[in-house]
Structure 1
Amino acid sequence: MVYLIFLLAAIITVVLAVRLSTYADVLSKRTSLGGMMVGTILLAGATSLPELTTSATAIYVNNPNIAVGNVLGSNLFNLLILAVFDVIYRKNKMLTSIENDHVITSMVSLGLTGLIFAAMIIPNGPQIFGVGIESFLLIFFYFGSMKIITSGQSEVTNAEAAASINESDHHTRAISLKHAKIGFVISSLLIFVTGSALTIAGDHIAHSTGLSSTFVGSFLIAGATSLPEVVTVLVAIQLLNFNLAIGNIVGSNIFNLLILAFIDVLYREGNILGTVSSVSSITALAVMVLNIIFIATILYWQAHNQNSKVYAVPSIMLIIIYGISFYIIFSLS
């Protein structure tokens, strides 16, 4: 029964997350919320809401391993999504024609993940009101990097982004602003329920099967909450909008890391990164390795923009490393 609940909650969460993203898109275009920064936070928050609700619920049921594993596992799964689609659509060579800004955002993601990894292997770091100092640093570096990224974009990039929005308006034109507001609120409430169901069912699966909560959070729950990104990336690639595909994944990964600061505040038994299983550090390390491969691949293909029979090799390496990470964490469960 618990597996059926998990499956149904996963399916409903995916459907709601896709609708939530659509409503957020309408709100960002038709309101005076203001600027790319707010729009980016709104949209990223919408697609990351499943991760937020599942991690928050995990804290409520006193399972910090699922809370942290869900966030890190989602970031790991998101990079797998890019690698798989890059291999499937290798003839498009999407990494050879994307903007330099993605390298910067990927480096931000790598740096923030490194901060989290350091906090895990040095669990007795300083705390402020029971919250680890790394959570405050995470918030500071997140908003600081977002300001640098958005202010550093060129006029051409902003113009291209505007053109892209205009081209995609037909997807949201039929939705009124009132409908979008109501739909966003209702979808947010419902996704909180389904996200909570995912966590509670995952917690029962962990106890009934003997699998570790870290494994369940890093792969089962993380995979379910990351499925909306699969749909978004697939559509973007089919539209040949490779910047949208890459930006959605990298942006979501950065926002997901911010969730760790939020759940650290909710967790009242100390620094959450210092109390989770050491296996979670393997997930964080795997995310860092995949990020490095991704950044190196972009930089290489920007310097060697040519047809090559080995184009898909880095993405295949990324998939293999994901599989190795899966095996290691499963073995330690």
Structure 2
Amino acid sequence: MDTVIVFVIFFIGLLTIVKGGDLFVDAAIWMAKKTGIPSMVIGATIVSIATTLPEFFVSTVASNEGHSDIAIGNVIGSIICNIAFVIGLCSCIKPIKIKKGLFNVKGFMMIGYLIIFYIFARNGIVTFKEGFILLALFLFFIIINILEFKVRGENTEKIKKESVHSKKDIILNIVKFILGAWFIVIGAHMLVDSGVKIARIFKIPQQVVSLTLLAVGTSLPELVTSVAAVIKDEENISVGNIIGANILNLTIVLGSSALVSDNGLFISDQTLYLDIPIALLVMTIFVFSGAIKKEIDRKSGLLFLTIYIVYLIILF
């Protein structure tokens, strides 16, 4: 009976997160159109911050309780899932067109941040000081987004003048934004909690759980919002969301996890020699495909999904 309840909670969490993602993307699209802020900037900042909350809570709590393997596994697993599974699935549904100017800087920044984290992790531990540096890197990412927005200032003012704001629209979309984010976070927690219990029932190792079940569970907000954005022909929100979420995972989530840990984040050999290299591989394919071909086509999507399946087979 307890097993049945766990599965019921899992599916309720899934439904909650799906509805939350739909509301959230609608509000984000409205915000981009009414303010003139580029949709990729919206996706890379506001949307990605909200969809990364599950990873933040799971990893910081795990780190604070001394479970570095869960904290690290959740983040690196989520990064791999975000690109190999989420972008792979989205591009199979519909090829994702890339706006070169907005994509390249953030894409290569994402790769650079992963390399910096790898350099910190090579000695087997990410210290308090290194965690603080990771947090500082997030501020640099925000500054880049602000400067990018200012460069497009003239277009923004033009859009603002052409936009008609009604109090009803503003209130409705604020409610949708907050309610959607709340549904996403609550749904993700339900999925993670029930998912861990399901893993215990089937006796799956803890590190594998963090890289798979927890990573997929906490990446569901990115999956739902990205798929919803692609369906609504807002590919830049989808791409911006994934890049922003990965950068947040590498800076805010890992940086905070290192700060709340008593002795720093301990890094396993598997993380150094399997998980991070796989993350770097899918990131590189993603960024170079977007930069050179100006789209993530179905072939790239199938390649991402194949890599993800092979990675899961290696883990199990």
TMscore range, shorter length: 0.7 to 0.9
- Report 1:128-147 matches (<5 A): 131=128, 133-147=129-143
Q: What residue is the counterpart of 1:176 in the other structure? A: 171
Q: What residue is the counterpart of 2:270 in the other structure? A: 279
Gaps of 5+ in 1: none
Amino acid paired to 1:176: I
Number of aligned residue pairs: 304
> After superposition, what is the alpha-carbon deviation per residue over 1:18-70, rounded to whole angstroms, capped at 9, x for unaligned?
54666677889999xxxx98996443221222222233343466533232222
Q: Is the contact made by 2:43 and 2:236 (CA closer than 8 Å) also made in structure 1? A: no
1:177 Cα offset (Å):
6.9
Higher RCO, Cα 8 Å, sep 6+: 2
Q: Say if 2:269 is the partner of 1:264.
A: no
Amino acid paired to 1:253: N
1:291 Cα offset (Å):
0.7
Q: Say if 2:315 is the partner of 1:329.
A: yes
Change (3 A) 1:152 1:186: closer
Q: What residue is the counterpart of 2:118 in the other structure? A: 117
Q: Is the contact made by 2:44 and 2:241 (CA closer than 8 Å) also made in structure 1? A: no
Change (3 A) 1:3 1:55: farther
Residues in 1 aligned to 2:206 and 2:185: alpha-carbon distance in whole angstroms: 20
SS of the residue aligned with 2:228? helix
> After superposition, what is the alpha-carbon deviation per residue over 1:146-182, rounded to whole angstroms, capped at 9, x for unaligned?
3134314574587379859x89x99x9646179639x
1:312 Cα offset (Å):
3.7
Gaps of 5+ in 2: none
- Report 1:1-333 matches (<5 A): 1=3, 2-16=6-20, 18-19=22-23, 41-59=45-63, 62-79=66-83, 80-90=85-95, 94-95=96-97, 97-124=98-125, 127=127, 131=128, 133-152=129-148, 155-156=151-152, 159=155, 174=169, 176=171, 180=175, 184=178, 188=182, 195-257=188-250, 258-268=252-262, 270-272=263-265, 274=266, 276-281=267-272, 282-302=274-294, 312-330=298-316
TM-score normalized with structure 1 length = 0.73
**Identity of aligned pairs, percent?**
22
TM-score normalized with structure 2 length = 0.76
Give the CA RMSD over aligned residues. 4.1
Residues in 1 aligned to 2:234 and 2:184: alpha-carbon distance in whole angstroms: 28
Residues in 2 aligned to 1:294 and 1:157: alpha-carbon distance in whole angstroms: 29
Residues in 1 aligned to 2:94 and 2:173: alpha-carbon distance in whole angstroms: 38
SS of the residue aligned with 1:240? coil
